[in-house]
Structure 1
Amino acid sequence: MDQTQEIRMQVMWNRLISVVEEQAMTLLRTAFSTSVREAGDLSAGVFDPQGRMLAQAVTGTPGHVNTMAEAVLHFINEIGRENMFAGDTYVTNDPWKGTGHLHDITMVSPSFKGDVLVGFFACTAHVVDVGGRGFGADGKSVYEEGIQIPIMKFAERGVVNSFLVQMLRANVREANQVVGDFYSLAACNDVGHERLIAMMTEIGLDTLDALGAFIFSRTRAATLERIAALPRGAWVNSMMTDGYDQPVKLMATVETRDDTVNVDFGGTDGVSRWGINVPIIYTKAYACYAMKCVVAPDIPNNWASLEPFTVSSPENILNAPRPAPVSLRHVFGHMVPDLVLGALAQALPGKILAEGAGALWNLHMSVKPTRAGGKQAEILMFNSGGMGARPELDGLNATAFPSGVMTMPVEATEQAGPIVVWRKELRPDSGGDGQYRGGLGQMIEIAPADGHEFDFSAMLDRTVTAPRGRNGGQGGQSGTAQLDDGTQLKPKGWQHVPEGRRLMLALPGGGGYGDPAKRLAEARADDVLKGYVTK
């Protein structure tokens, strides 16, 4: 390929990325749920006719993007090429073929140019409710956790499956929000298709075959070059987490091979009877993300750059089989990157950040009136603790790593239902000390509005086991959950906040990096000036 052709291919590749970014922005702007609209809990991407991811939108989370990369193959196999038509949209929330739990809806749409199938568009988003016990860890099997939608058609030749919509409305608490999000997901793929066909028509492409070959060859070669530069060996790391009613041990072995890097989760505790299990598709998504962050952070995410990173595991809490309860799969799924990075830190000393809060501190609040004239509502709120300190920088405060979702504004949360967020501020002294300080967690106080009470599903971790520092850095502070009268609350499970009381959360801070004695005096003075440290 001569230089002119290479430049042309690179321009088309960039154009393809802009197509999927516009696809994602459509979902972000039209979604009904605040978790999508405000926090960006979504993914979007374009795939070739074989179901291999060509490009992903920058907007989105690794858990959604990397699971979606595998999910499209399930759609192709189960729908069948002979049953695919222009105007189709397919849907599922199958945890083992989608993104790990029932609350995430994945939609896939074939993209035809004339009569030729040129690719697929896929997108994923978290919806506020799927029925059942609600978003929480209390289910004993996936059957209790909500309505299950097998891979099926949401629309055929542009006509929506009205029977599916009726089933949804009969099974969820917030029917308008959920159905609205389904239409937003479908519209997201439609926009991607329209922009792709316009691009192909303008450039004169009949298929994406040549462009796909260019993308895959470049990214695969670059990824293999990075893997070849890694030391050869196997490194083991373990981590204790809060669990539900007893601590849970996670273990990973990272091994570099000829042209792959494998993570094995043997030694991890077994499948839980509570809804904190993780399907392997979600575990793999975050394990691959952690490895790419270290090995190939600047190489675009697609089929070819993900393929060299592999995962294996016996059945355990990180490889839970159907019908295990998996509603809170994100809690331990979000711990996987720190688990994997801890092993990589042994292979690459001085290059890996300290542990952070990991899992989001999500709250699902079910608000009810205590007297006439009140309002019922289902409210989902995402909150983030602190990131671990980095080898040359302090950790980021109140930042969602590894999920990457955005902070949900208090105003948007209060608009979703009758609650009041009385306090949301950084938590002083929560970041671990070190040459570089761990990021701070948050202090949050939430109360039902007058004339209301709420039950909430706690999805918290790091309340017993704090994030660890690295290379001599101290650990971050663990988190706490209680009512304003001092009543201690569990980190997981449905609990009650009566009218007149406040829910008080102290989110964990990230671990520090390096010997605290080496922290510059100016940096310590700045910590005190900003209120990050009070001592």
Structure 2
Amino acid sequence: MSAPGPFDPISLEIHWSRLISIADEAATGLLRTAFSTIVRESNDFATVLMDRNGDSVSENTGGIASFSCILPVTTKAFLRRFPAETWRPGDCVITNDPWLATGHLPDFTAVTPVFHRGALVGFAGSIAHSPDVGGSLWSADCRELFEEGIRIPPMHLYREGVRNEALAEVLLANVRLPRQTMGDLEAQVVANQVCARGVAEFLADAGLPDLQGLSSALSARADAAMRAAIRALPDGTWRSVLEADGFDDAITRICCEVTIRGDAMHIDYAGTSRQVDRGINCVMNYTHAYSVYPIKCSLDPFTPRNEGSYKAITVSAPEGSILNPRFPAPCSARQLTGHLLAGAIYKALAPVMPERIIAECGGAPTMRALFSGTTAEGDRFSQVLFASGGMGAAPHRDGLPTTAFPTNVGAGSIEAYESVAPLVVWKKQLLPDSGGAGKFRGGLGQEVEIEVRAPEEVRLSLLSDRRDHPAQGVLGGLPGGAAVIELGDGTRPHPKSRTTVPPGARLRMHYAGGGGYGDPRERDPAALAEDIRNGYVTAEGAARDYGVTP
């Protein structure tokens, strides 16, 4: 039996804050016990608390937004496979199936039941990007899903506190970094256990039998906030088209149509490019997550997120398109398509809410370089550089430099990065003139130079875009600087493929800048002068883009 309602506003706020802190505590548990720098340094994870229906109640404040949106969807899929009455204390179910979870194999989802006084009251969930899933490395050039790594259907990693050693043995036999891979998975189990303990303590302190009444109240509050924000906009339909590099000659074309009717919004991607036989396809879970999240950021940024935040927004994409591919389409680099959706949505809505959108981001999609090989001691390594281009400019300020959006993965410590792999980062600095000119300037990209210090050749996998299609400005703003990847000898490797590089080779990457907002001629002269003093804009850039000679 659920607690009676409604809750008074003060109690609701207090309860909600504590539930968020429980998710944050779970995140701390994951960070402190994870093995890979992907989790410990780069923040590529999320923790979510859900009620017994699998609806999200709270999520950690620094988690990856797409993960938090998708975890309830995956938990509901688990419940269809394993009905609620079959779950036991000490269970943990995992999967990395792209169509059930986050859209590519490197992300593992782990869900643990939460019990209170012998009854199932909810679920604790976590998602983390694994350091390795076997197969082709994290790459963009595979032809089908089966090349991209091992796929684990929903299975018990733990059953009543006992680890499924057969599953663990199969998984670890298929990955290059078994210690890190299992270490991160076990860290997810720990995080879920921390969350479960916190919920039991909370229910005891609050005198509640379960989470259902509170979950309904919190969801209704989040839903009401989003619907009020949508209702404040005029009814109508707005459209945009965004193009990206795609793969070779197959340019990605995203057609976006946003319709507002009353307090509801529908986002439709009819006309978007068909799925391709390369790993940049974006499954519907990921498409939905990175469609609703930008709307949340622009219309209702301050209400904490949960299941209710997105009920007013529906999303559709044609089956067989690059935003809703059919199994077994390759999708390992699905972020190279999914991260573009915020730009397409904001471009469509610019005429109706120009004060609430930003220009396209140079860090959307993110650019990744994965090095894999053997150290001088004979140990395997596989290390990803997490770095970002510049954010798009906003209606009231310049874009943030080297900051990711819509993802919020961080770069992490270069010292930690170099400590776990034979790689030396010689340069990591802002790129002058890379921010698109405008009344407000786009965020600067960066230049990174890495030397390979391994005793043998290493495999390099590149996942990038924005080479031929830089981030566009909005409402008169100019595009940001384009992405560039080249080796020390001047050759430019394929931006979405795997290659080998010899010891001593250096890789130089220019991360793209964000687009500008508004007419560059309207930029505050004092702000431009400050940019020139700081080296963000050169004298040549000022003359070319702003018509000003310093």
Do the aligned partners of 1:134 and 1:145 also contact (CA within 8 Å) in 2?
A: yes
The answer for the alignment partner of 1:63 in structure 2 is 66
The answer for the alignment partner of 1:240 in structure 2 is 243
Q: 2:467 aligns with which of 463, 483, 487?
A: 463
The answer for the alignment partner of 2:85 in structure 1 is 82
User: Does 1:330 pair with 2:335?
Assistant: yes
Secondary structure at the counterpart of residue 255 of structure 2: strand
Q: Give how far 1:257 is off.
A: 2.1
Q: Give how far 1:531 is off.
A: 1.1
The answer for the alignment partner of 1:352 in structure 2 is 357
The answer for the alignment partner of 2:307 in structure 1 is 303
d(CA) in 1 for partners of 2:510, 2:400? 17
d(CA) in 2 for partners of 1:419, 1:375? 14
d(CA) in 1 for partners of 2:112, 2:382? 30
d(CA) in 2 for partners of 1:305, 1:432? 32
The answer for the alignment partner of 1:501 in structure 2 is 505
d(CA) in 2 for partners of 1:164, 1:4? 44
Q: 1:437 aligns with which of 412, 434, 441?
A: 441
User: Does 1:150 pair with 2:153?
Assistant: yes
Q: Give how far 1:22 is off.
A: 0.5
The answer for the alignment partner of 2:195 in structure 1 is 192
Q: 2:530 aligns with which of 520, 523, 526?
A: 526
Q: Give how far 1:339 is off.
A: 1.1
d(CA) in 2 for partners of 1:258, 1:2? 28
User: Does 1:339 pair with 2:348?
Assistant: no
d(CA) in 1 for partners of 2:216, 2:438? 47
Q: Cα deviations across residues 129-183 of structure 1 (Å, max 9, x unaligned)?
A: 1011110012111111111100111101111111111011100000000011110
d(CA) in 1 for partners of 2:147, 2:49? 33
Q: Cα deviations across residues 368-398 of structure 1 (Å, max 9, x unaligned)?
A: 46xx755531111211000111111001000
d(CA) in 2 for partners of 1:390, 1:67? 28
Do the aligned partners of 1:111 and 1:119 also contact (CA within 8 Å) in 2?
A: yes
Q: Structure 1 stretches (4+) deviating beyond 6 angstroms?
A: 1-4
d(CA) in 2 for partners of 1:230, 1:218? 19
Change (3 A) 1:129 1:458: same
Do the aligned partners of 1:430 and 1:509 also contact (CA within 8 Å) in 2?
A: yes
The answer for the alignment partner of 1:26 in structure 2 is 29
Q: Give how far 1:92 is off.
A: 0.4
d(CA) in 2 for partners of 1:439, 1:4? 43
Change (3 A) 1:480 1:215: same
Q: Cα deviations across residues 326-346 of structure 1 (Å, max 9, x unaligned)?
A: 100111111111111111112
- One-letter code of the match for 2:527? A
Q: Give how far 1:4 is off.
A: 8.7
TM-score normalised by L of structure 2: 0.94
User: Does 1:488 pair with 2:492?
Assistant: yes
Secondary structure at the counterpart of residue 201 of structure 1: helix
Q: Which runs of 5+ in 2 are unaligned?
A: 540-550
The answer for the alignment partner of 2:175 in structure 1 is 172
Task: Please show how residues 310-325 of structure 1 align to structure 2 within 5 Å.
Answer: 310-315=314-319, 316-325=321-330
Secondary structure at the counterpart of residue 369 of structure 2: strand
d(CA) in 2 for partners of 1:359, 1:329? 10
Secondary structure at the counterpart of residue 371 of structure 2: strand
Do the aligned partners of 1:331 and 1:459 also contact (CA within 8 Å) in 2?
A: yes
Q: Cα deviations across residues 450-479 of structure 1 (Å, max 9, x unaligned)?
A: 634322110011011011111111111111
TM-score normalised by L of structure 1: 0.97
d(CA) in 1 for partners of 2:460, 2:195? 37
The answer for the alignment partner of 1:276 in structure 2 is 280
Secondary structure at the counterpart of residue 346 of structure 1: coil
Do the aligned partners of 2:5 and 2:213 also contact (CA within 8 Å) in 1?
A: no
Secondary structure at the counterpart of residue 314 of structure 2: strand
Q: Give how far 1:98 is off.
A: 0.7
Q: Identify the range of structure 1 (198-207 vs 472-481) with the bigger mean alpha-carbon deviation.
A: 198-207
Q: Cα deviations across residues 276-295 of structure 1 (Å, max 9, x unaligned)?
A: 10101001000000111122
Change (3 A) 1:228 1:188: same
The answer for the alignment partner of 1:451 in structure 2 is 455
Q: Identify the range of structure 1 (390-399 vs 404-413) with the bigger mean alpha-carbon deviation.
A: 404-413
Q: Cα deviations across residues 5-27 of structure 1 (Å, max 9, x unaligned)?
A: 43223211111111111011111
- One-letter code of the match for 1:42? F
d(CA) in 2 for partners of 1:450, 1:296? 48
Secondary structure at the counterpart of residue 234 of structure 2: coil
Task: Please show how residues 93-132 of structure 1 align to structure 2 within 5 Å.
Answer: 93-132=96-135
Secondary structure at the counterpart of residue 382 of structure 1: strand
Q: Give how far 1:351 is off.
A: 3.2
Q: Cα deviations across residues 475-528 of structure 1 (Å, max 9, x unaligned)?
A: 111110001111112110102222222001011101111111111121111111
The answer for the alignment partner of 2:369 in structure 1 is 363
The answer for the alignment partner of 1:411 in structure 2 is 415
Q: Give how far 1:106 is off.
A: 0.3
- One-letter code of the match for 1:493? S
Change (3 A) 1:351 1:4: closer
Secondary structure at the counterpart of residue 213 of structure 2: helix
d(CA) in 2 for partners of 1:78, 1:142? 22
Do the aligned partners of 1:375 and 1:417 also contact (CA within 8 Å) in 2?
A: no
Secondary structure at the counterpart of residue 158 of structure 2: strand
Change (3 A) 1:170 1:450: closer
Secondary structure at the counterpart of residue 408 of structure 1: coil
The answer for the alignment partner of 1:72 in structure 2 is 75
d(CA) in 2 for partners of 1:251, 1:122? 33
